[in-house]
Structure 1
């Protein structure tokens, strides 16, 4: 019966208009379609709505004469903050504590695993030029990029031009800050004028967007040097793209996870000091976990997404992936803000203090998640580290199934992504996408046609209630420590827009990195980064890297 109804659903208008169908058959058809949406219409009700359905089709047909491109704005912005919440606006001056006595390594390859702060010290003190540093990382990208299948476009000419400009400014006494002259990579869904922006998939593999994305513009202003546009899974899903299968530097037989696949892999392998990723539902957290990077998924809306591929207007976020919490803080400071072109973005204060007394932070852990773990699980060791620092880590029940009784994120993500790629579906170019299985985008975009607008709107109304419930819980804590993939945490915090930082906490028996996640309050990336830095100051998991890339 389900298969029969589905086939009928594909030819809704044709069946209603066909003279071969009796009036009664048409009404039965409408009743069957309604049952797919958990509705029960009488024959009289179906008879009444038939003309409305046909009239609506004429509207759709007129609308489809001009198919919307991905960058056509959606003018309804998601605001994660509950009523009465004030976005912090007073920005204090941050004095970055760059290490003073950084020397060039005896083995030059070790330079590949220096932090942004260490490299910034070398640049500022003129122990290495940006041109030398950029050339070093470009050579590593050329040497290892194919091995990891993580580079889509090497922006060598642009990188050398920006590096020379950085050096020239430094000679004149102009220093823009800790990103001045530092190489980096962009996930290839951010537009850079004059270069391809492929979105990781065949239908767009030759696309050139005549625009500089906000993220690229901000980093350019900070003096950073773009060396490569990095791989992402097709249309920001997983780690398979039109040119390959991005690999985990710790195990080349394994994918790096996605969708910020190339961003995480390239940083961990020492091909770049930092990279920019995006997350809709795990795309910073998941590859950071798999590869052993430190990833920051900021509060929704704190980084403008103008000039970036849209997957889901109310869920997409951009953030840094690097080798340390301090590096994430530095990059985020220069990344945050809005250009007014992204309806969902805001300016907010980011008052990070790398020397914060961690005992002053209200730190809790999700006891309802932790109790499911074995007693020797690494997550318990994270808590012990804080206890040794004198922190009273409070057990709390992280809101889960009680506030998230059904899969809100699926409805929201599928409906918005299908709208974002309506043109791709209607032109049948979705058949070019690398995967065609039931679990991938082409089928998701088609299936989303059966999500009624009413259900999408109501899912967002329940989402609004979820936001309030989570913020009511979080206001009592600055940081809540959670196992990275426990329960519904990832779905919940992506829906509510809360920031998280994900970082290595050790390695399993197969030598693969494992991560822990800190959840924070809206617009308070500073607290979770301060707590995470305190943890990294007492541990060395984030300093480890695959030895095969140390040459």
Structure 2
């Protein structure tokens, strides 16, 4: 979900944020009445300047609010309880990109078992599905193959929290029996997968990668897990995530990048990206709030899909930010991402933030002729990054230019676009405020003291600081977000999609607007590590987004490169 490499804007750095309400809450927690002097001291941290008389006149109100806070705290609401106000990313005048739903895959090629069984590790879902469908390999054999790889490489890469061998092999045997009887559910039938361990599965722990929750059992199945199993998928592992969805450090260690184990796999879908990149899973589910599918997929050379906000049910998933969290697949190819997305997308009565929208995908296309694709000109023109007084060459600049040329060669019409002139970084206070509410209970019990990371920009301090964000400033940030959504919608009118380098302000902006993206491998840097490019869609425009990204990926071979795993 949230990643340390994208941002850590401390709450204190956000201009105009008042800390008054937090002071009132703290005093209330201590059982002391708020005095006029408390108000006057607290306002030093805000943009206000109340007179002593004004401060005195507030006392009845603010002390009354303290009683309200106490009453609300006593409810001990679990993380699963969402606010009664649901975020809706749909702008004024919006029409759905797809008129109706439909899903069509390209023709499957004949697939044979490889001479060396280890080569199965990097087969796509489609290739593995053909082997299972034609009974050249059983689901039990395939499941055991990937479990063995998980167990072999986990000690070095640290991407697994719980390997579900007994349950998985039982489910695989059931899949084989169904297929043998002629009941073939489709391309996911009998295919193993993993999920980030913020998704609940009632038979096993759901740890959220965090010390305070490492023994937590949730007696529910996440909707995403249920839908994948209904499609015939075999859940074999709960993968690591940075503690409470930050970075790649969790209570058991640090998840590594299979291309370079001196590096972490980035976060927070750390284990899902690392395991797929290492050929230990055909696909896995990740989550994103501010870059946590895009960043680890880039680091580990995977293809990741972050769907539109509201496309995929979050029921049974840890809440970090109710208005920004999204679940999506991490895979070997765009086609695989489309297959998994088709299985998990759709409304859910258990998640009121889901939004009904058509999804139409046709994977048979070979050309981008007729596609109107925007590109963020400033991002592609940037030859250098500036950090204070230092200037550093952009290592992706040459590759990004080649990407534009390739899109033109494939027939696309390219249109330069610019970002809205709004304070995008300031709006991410929404995430801090919601995360501070989601994990406020840790502060009352002081369990945040036991979390692994304790730096100034780590979750414990963000949760603490977030208690001083007033409701008024949170609402102002959400109002600014409305402006951003509308302005970006207007700028994208007439385009089928747009592209941008993966490391740009686009990532923060579109996690706020709710637009979908596909990040895919796009070459390698001088040190041999993967680079990526991001294809961005219109809101609920996953159909054309996936089609275009697949055509580009089919015209390159970057996703067919794999790490040597010589460690």
> Is 2:371 the partner of 1:367?
no
Q: What residue is the counterpart of 1:464 in the other structure? A: 482
Q: Quick one: structure 1 residues 90 and 406, their matched pair in 2 at CA, closer, same or farther if it must change by over 3 Å? A: closer
Does structure 2 conserve the Cα–Cα contact (< 8 Å) formed by 1:279 and 1:318?
yes
> Is 2:93 the partner of 1:95?
no
1:447 to 445, 452, 465: 465
Counterpart secondary structure, 1:360: coil
Cα displacement (A) at 1:198: 0.2
2:451 to 433, 438, 453: 433
1:508 to 525, 529, 533: 525
Q: What residue is the counterpart of 2:422 in the other structure? A: 403
Cα displacement (A) at 1:66: 2.5
Q: What residue is the counterpart of 2:9 in the other structure? A: none
Deviates more, 1:78-87 or 1:534-543: 78-87
Matches of 1:368 and 1:102, distance apart in 2: 44
Q: Quick one: structure 1 residues 74 and 379, their matched pair in 2 at CA, closer, same or farther if it must change by over 3 Å? A: same
Counterpart secondary structure, 2:103: coil
Matches of 1:447 and 1:13, distance apart in 2: 17
Counterpart secondary structure, 1:226: strand
Counterpart secondary structure, 1:358: coil
What TM-score comes out, normalization by structure 2 length? 0.91
Cα displacement (A) at 1:393: 1.8
> Is 2:535 the partner of 1:518?
yes
Cα displacement (A) at 1:513: 0.4
Does structure 1 conserve the Cα–Cα contact (< 8 Å) formed by 2:303 and 2:331?
yes
- Consecutive unaligned residues of structure 1, counting only runs of 5 or more, are none
Matches of 1:346 and 1:187, distance apart in 2: 23
Does structure 2 conserve the Cα–Cα contact (< 8 Å) formed by 1:184 and 1:224?
yes
Q: What residue is the counterpart of 1:384 in the other structure? A: 405
Q: Quick one: structure 1 residues 15 and 148, their matched pair in 2 at CA, closer, same or farther if it must change by over 3 Å? A: closer
CA-to-aligned-CA distance 1:262-307 (integer Å, 9 cap, x gap): 0000001000000000000000000001111000000001000001
Q: What residue is the counterpart of 1:497 in the other structure? A: 514
Misfit runs of 4+, over 3 Å: 5-18, 86-93
> Is 2:257 the partner of 1:248?
yes
Counterpart secondary structure, 2:346: coil
Cα displacement (A) at 1:458: 1.0
Cα displacement (A) at 1:191: 0.4
Deviates more, 1:281-290 or 1:380-389: 380-389
Does structure 2 conserve the Cα–Cα contact (< 8 Å) formed by 1:137 and 1:183?
yes
> Is 2:319 the partner of 1:302?
no
Q: Quick one: structure 1 residues 478 and 89, their matched pair in 2 at CA, closer, same or farther if it must change by over 3 Å? A: closer
Matches of 2:57 and 2:41, distance apart in 1: 15
Counterpart secondary structure, 1:185: strand
Does structure 1 conserve the Cα–Cα contact (< 8 Å) formed by 2:29 and 2:70?
no
Does structure 1 conserve the Cα–Cα contact (< 8 Å) formed by 2:104 and 2:361?
no
> Is 2:441 the partner of 1:423?
yes
Q: What residue is the counterpart of 1:266 in the other structure? A: 275
Counterpart secondary structure, 1:490: helix
Matches of 2:356 and 2:127, distance apart in 1: 29
Instruction: Please show how residues 281-300 of structure 1 align to structure 2 within 5 Å.
Output: 281-300=290-309
Count matched residues.
537
CA-to-aligned-CA distance 1:163-215 (integer Å, 9 cap, x gap): 11111111111111110110000000000011000000110001110001001
Does structure 2 conserve the Cα–Cα contact (< 8 Å) formed by 1:281 and 1:494?
yes
Counterpart secondary structure, 1:407: helix
Deviates more, 1:347-356 or 1:314-323: 347-356
CA-to-aligned-CA distance 1:94-117 (integer Å, 9 cap, x gap): 232352311111111111000111
Cα displacement (A) at 1:12: 3.8
Does structure 2 conserve the Cα–Cα contact (< 8 Å) formed by 1:196 and 1:209?
yes
- Consecutive unaligned residues of structure 2, counting only runs of 5 or more, are 1-11, 13-18, 384-393
Does structure 2 conserve the Cα–Cα contact (< 8 Å) formed by 1:189 and 1:199?
yes
Q: What residue is the counterpart of 1:207 in the other structure? A: 216
Q: What residue is the counterpart of 1:159 in the other structure? A: 168
Q: What residue is the counterpart of 1:189 in the other structure? A: 198
Matches of 1:174 and 1:89, distance apart in 2: 31
Counterpart secondary structure, 2:521: strand
2:326 to 306, 317, 327: 317
Q: What residue is the counterpart of 2:549 in the other structure? A: 532
CA-to-aligned-CA distance 1:232-280 (integer Å, 9 cap, x gap): 0000000000111000000001000000000000001000000000000
Matches of 1:272 and 1:310, distance apart in 2: 25
Matches of 1:56 and 1:235, distance apart in 2: 30
Q: Quick one: structure 1 residues 340 and 9, their matched pair in 2 at CA, closer, same or farther if it must change by over 3 Å? A: closer
Cα displacement (A) at 1:79: 0.5
Q: Quick one: structure 1 residues 47 and 153, their matched pair in 2 at CA, closer, same or farther if it must change by over 3 Å? A: same
Q: Quick one: structure 1 residues 367 and 464, their matched pair in 2 at CA, closer, same or farther if it must change by over 3 Å? A: same
CA-to-aligned-CA distance 1:384-417 (integer Å, 9 cap, x gap): 11122232322222x14x13365101x1001101
Does structure 2 conserve the Cα–Cα contact (< 8 Å) formed by 1:88 and 1:348?
no
> Is 2:148 the partner of 1:139?
yes
Matches of 1:124 and 1:347, distance apart in 2: 32
The higher-RCO structure (CA 8 Å, 6+ apart) is 2
Q: Quick one: structure 1 residues 218 and 38, their matched pair in 2 at CA, closer, same or farther if it must change by over 3 Å? A: same
Counterpart secondary structure, 1:548: coil
Matches of 1:76 and 1:10, distance apart in 2: 23
Matches of 1:362 and 1:93, distance apart in 2: 22
Matches of 1:376 and 1:412, distance apart in 2: 32
Matches of 1:63 and 1:450, distance apart in 2: 17
